[in-house]
Structure 1
Amino acid sequence: MGFKEWIIPQDKIFFNILEQQADLVLKAATLFKKMVNDPENYAEKMKEMRLLEHQGDEIVHDMIHRLHKSFITPIDQEDLADLTSLYDDVLDYIDSVANKLFMFEIKEPDEIIKEFADIIEKQVAEVNEALKQIRKIKQQEMEDRFKQIHSLENLADDLHDKTLMKLYKEKDPVRIIIMKEIYDFLENITDKCEDVCLVIQDIVLKNA
């Protein structure tokens, strides 16, 4: 099956907003990976992360404002709103976990955190490619993206479970509480990416 064009000129803005958001979330994921692998000047990088988070909020507000003013949209209004809101959650969680590392003064992130950061960046990159293909549905290509997104989420689940089993054997209760919170947040980011993927899959089913 070939691809289906949805765009009419006045509706391009909705896809443009989604793609702007996608680029922003990927910037945040890449920045977070950089922060944990090279924590020097972490405070300055945290300021950059906060700026990305604020820009993300502005994109959500722009999308919601335009949806309220529009009678016709290229895809279902509720799907557009859900997609934008859920992907903003990913950005918010990346910002939050980066800030937790800062607040808890974890100056040398461990290899587990670095591995999560790598998974998150890869998963966000896959979500972005799927998002950008919403303009023209190429079902097989999108299915390949979906499989990779789910595979990375499963990888994060396994990493999370193994890490907690090891963490609970440690003696320091304060460290256990702090690190569990961080690992939980990191795993939740991959869950949020999968939530975005599920909305995209639903859009494909409705419009392919």
Structure 2
Amino acid sequence: MFGSNGDAFFYQTLIDVANNIVEAIRLFRENVRTLEKKEEYAEQIKALESKGDEYTQLLISELNKAYYPPLDREDILQLAGKLDDVLDGVESCATRIVYIDQPTDYLIRFADLLEPLGKHLRDAFIALQKQDFTTIQKLCVEINMLEDEADRLMRESVGSLFHPPVEVVELIKMKDIYERLERLTDAAEDIANILEGMIIKYG
């Protein structure tokens, strides 16, 4: 059933969800540069997160009505869930950054890393609609590499909070944000793993 007529809704909605993530990451990256309007950015990103929830519910609703969806139901559900995890991660970090006074070099580096990550996810779903498995595979490799980089960045950023040690409340706040940022890259890697499994299944 892969790529059959009448399947455009599922592919396009997954692309729309990924585009929503790209926009949330763009706002997050703008925000951490100065943190001058962090409350406004947090509200905008929260609106995108709510929009993402609507996409997820729409996907599930249409999946329940579809006799022959273009992809395995489990694959669509897993992709929708992990995309939601990525967007939730961006939103939760934006919410917590409201309580941070100054941007750190590590926040900026994380935001710079997230930008290509989001675009790779979007491009992977565009390629999925075209059944361009070669492109999907290349993008999955890039996503995995960025997740590895995020792992290293998380270890380095958390370590910086102890050497030299910072004030306890600040340590708790920043450690939480750094770890959340890394976890959302884990969710992106999970999406890449699902897509790689689909390449084997459908390719």
Shorter-chain TM-score: which interval? over 0.9
In structure 2, the partner of 1:86 is 82
Whole-angstrom CA distance in 2 between matches of 1:188 and 1:199: 17
Which of 152, 160, 163 is the matching residue for 1:158? 152
Q: Cα gap change, 1:112/1:69 in structure 2, threshold over 3 Å: closer, same or farther?
A: same
TM-fit CA distance, 1:29 = 0.7
Whole-angstrom CA distance in 2 between matches of 1:88 and 1:48: 16
Which of 177, 183, 190 is the matching residue for 2:185? 190
Whether the 8 Å contact between 2:41 and 2:94 is mirrored in structure 1 is no
Deviates more, 1:64-73 or 1:9-18: 9-18
Same amino acid, percent of matched pairs: 29
Which of 119, 126, 137 is the matching residue for 1:132? 126
Instruction: Give a deviation string over 1:156-198, Cα, whole Å, max 9, x none.
Output: 1111112222212304222221111111011111111101111
Whole-angstrom CA distance in 2 between matches of 1:93 and 1:155: 17
TM-score (normalised: structure 2):
0.95
In structure 1, the partner of 2:73 is 77
The reply to whether residue 67 of structure 1 matches residue 96 of structure 2 is: no
In structure 2, the partner of 1:116 is 110
Whole-angstrom CA distance in 2 between matches of 1:150 and 1:89: 17
Whether the 8 Å contact between 1:24 and 1:56 is mirrored in structure 2 is yes
TM-score (normalised: structure 1):
0.92
TM-fit CA distance, 1:137 = 2.5
- RMSD, aligned α-carbons: 1.4
Whether the 8 Å contact between 1:32 and 1:94 is mirrored in structure 2 is yes
Whether the 8 Å contact between 2:90 and 2:184 is mirrored in structure 1 is yes
SS of aligned partner of 1:109? coil
Q: Cα gap change, 1:47/1:171 in structure 2, threshold over 3 Å: closer, same or farther?
A: closer
Aligned ranges for residues 1-208 of structure 1 at < 5 Å?
6-102=2-98, 105-169=99-163, 170-208=165-203
Gaps of 5+ in 2: none
Deviates more, 1:63-72 or 1:156-165: 156-165
Whole-angstrom CA distance in 1 between matches of 2:132 and 2:16: 21
Whole-angstrom CA distance in 2 between matches of 1:68 and 1:171: 51
Whole-angstrom CA distance in 2 between matches of 1:155 and 1:16: 30
SS of aligned partner of 2:36? coil
- Across the two proteins, how many residue pairs are aligned to each other? 202
* 1:200 maps to amino acid: L
* 2:143 maps to amino acid: I
Whole-angstrom CA distance in 1 between matches of 2:137 and 2:4: 25
